Amino acid sequence: MSDPKHGERPIVLEESPGKKAYCQCGLSEKLPYCDGSHARNQTGLAPIVVEVADAGKKAICQCHQSANKPWCDGTHSRLSA
């Protein structure tokens, strides 16, 4: 299994309701969404698939350390020092 490519900050966007697959390998060209790069690069990683119930602003974790993935919980701000 490969280590994910980490981002320094969450991706904040206006999300729409529906089934979403959020990238966990960091290699997607469509971040924060999975584009299949995890499989093409044989990372052994997989996206987190969730059903988003309500439209609204969401912060998608890119440091991959959140305790509430795929959502940002602020952990990224404590990682770099």
Rounded distance between C-alpha atoms, residue 75 and residue 36, angstroms: 26
Window contacting ligand FES (CB under 6 A); options: 11-19, 40-48, 52-60, 66-74: 40-48
CA 77 → CA 28, 33, 37, distances in Å? 23, 22, 27
Residue 59 lies near ligand FES (rule: CB under 6 A):
no
Rounded distance between C-alpha atoms, residue 44 and residue 55, angstroms: 31
Window contacting ligand FES (CB under 6 A); options: 8-16, 21-29, 56-64, 73-81: 21-29
**Which residue ranges make up the site for ligand FES (CB under 6 A)?**
23-25, 27-28, 34-38, 45-47
